Structure 1
Amino acid sequence: MDSSSLTISPRKLHYDLYSYSYKEDSNTPLVINVLASLIERNMARAQRIVKNCSSRVLSKASTKIFDCREIPDLTIQSYLERIFRYTRAGPSVYVVAYVYIDRFCQNNLGFRINSRNVHRLLITTIMVASKYVEDMNFRNSYFAKVGGLTTSELNELELEFLFMMNFKLHVNVSVFESYCSHLEREVSIGGGYHIERTLRCAEEIKERGHTQIARVML
């Protein structure tokens, strides 16, 4: 099913995100549906821009590292669900990952998210966001297996990503809240939705600050 056509119940979204449990049998956070839909629209918009404009601004050679030889036979929704199923990364991780994706695109104006690079970009940003937000993390080798990459490939993607981000990984509470609001607006046409904005997650982000950068490099 196309995630953009998925009807999200305001009450269910509210309950899942305010009462999210990190147990093994937890349901998939509904923020994943919103993020998948948002990225799909971003890709469609980028495709129209490329088609309608002369490509005077080209992607840097370094961003080509995210291109895969063969496009994975997985939708963005399915890929995000797979990552959650095997990592149990909480909702705040996906919000921070979205912050990173936005920053990455702003820092690399010639970069366009497309079907060839989106999966590698997602697994990289989610892994880095998980290291930033959560206390317990899987090794890179595990994330690589979940994402369908070799460990050396994911290590290289992570290192390239960090340098292209100028290691600017800190996400303060106000930035986190603004991206939550943006994600809310994506699904707020039919009612008032709430994306993971528990005080616990916000305080965790605030307390960690720049000290998390060292942990990302492990």
Structure 2
Amino acid sequence: MARVELSPAFEDVDADILVQLIADMIERLMAHNDQIPLSPESLTRFHSRNPPGISVLDYLRRIVRFTKAERLCLLITLHYIDQICARMPLFTLSSLTCHRFVITSVTVSSKALCDAFCTNSLYAKVGGIPLTELNLLEREFLRMIDWRLTCTREILHEYYVNLVRTHSKGIYYIAGHESSSSISSDSDMDWETGRSRSVSPAATLAPESPRPPTLEQNMAFAAFQQESRRSSQGS
């Protein structure tokens, strides 16, 4: 399969390609977390009774189509996942929580970071949930991230580069960041990359902050928790 070179700036990449990259990462995270047994203390407002009948990829495409969500708002969802998992270790992004989390994230980030955004009524309709439910989810989401709605452009750039590098099909690459052999498989998911020299310190959303735990670190932590539960139950 021919490989496709992507723009070094996430703001310039085709929106549907960015959606594919994000969906690929989230779906792998969900596949891992769906193996973790639910416990009463881990249930949140984001949990649905059953997994929605639409894939993450199609759901993200639907959101972009009807809300014109900006690339920034899509990419920062990964940062929010890391923030919340670091603050609330029992929370996992699974097939029961993902869709509500994503539509809430786009709703919150669009209003915080964009000059133009939709009404909650439209976001709720696009997300397939009642307006009253989205309003509650929005308040809960803000509480979970402690109202920390921004991060630096440099951090978002790292997410973008790592999404490309760890994409399961390995068909995309960013010239100057990876060679054709370095975009790898699930065994190479440590998210270790250098920071872009082209990033201007002025092009930031907020002052520099410590690098948060990565999605992969949270996956490892979730696996550790699962094994600890099994050990305690067996003792």
TM-score, scaled relative to structure 2: 0.67
The answer to whether the 8 A contact 2:153-2:204 is kept is: no
Distance 2:12 2:50 in 1: 39
List per-residue Cα deviations over 1:135-184 (Å, max 9, x = no partner).
10111111011101111100100101111111122212232222222223
CA distance in 1, matches of 2:199, 2:40: 39
TM-score by length of 1: 0.72
* Counterpart check, 1:39 vs 2:19: no
Q: Secondary structure at the match of 2:115?
A: coil
Larger Rg: 2
- CA separation in 1, counterparts of 2:155 and 2:63? 24
Shift, 1:28, TM fit: 4.3
Deviates more, 1:68-77 or 1:79-88: 68-77
Higher helix share: 1
- Residue matched to 2:110: 130
- Root-mean-square deviation over aligned CA pairs: 3.2
Query: Taking structure 1 as reference, are residues 172 and 18 closer, same or farther at Cα in structure 2, changes over 3 Å only?
Result: closer
Pair 1:30 & 2:17 matched: yes
Identity, % of aligned pairs? 28
2-side partners of 1:124 and 1:65: how far apart?
12
Q: Contact conserved, 1:140 with 1:155, CA < 8 A, in 2? A: yes
Q: Which amino acid aligns with 2:203?
A: E
* Shift, 1:204, TM fit: 6.5
Counterpart of 1:75, as a letter, is S
Distance 1:76 1:160 in 2: 22
Structure 2 unaligned regions, length at least 5:
176-195, 208-235
1:181 is aligned, of 119, 138, 161, to 161
1:91 matched to which residue of 2?
A: 71
Residue 4 (structure 1) aligns with: none
- 1:1-218 aligned at under 5 Å gives the runs 9-11=3-5, 13-14=6-7, 19=12, 28-48=15-35, 50=36, 58=39, 60=41, 63-187=43-167, 189=170, 192-193=173-174, 203=203, 205-206=205-206
Q: CA deviation at 1:102?
A: 1.8
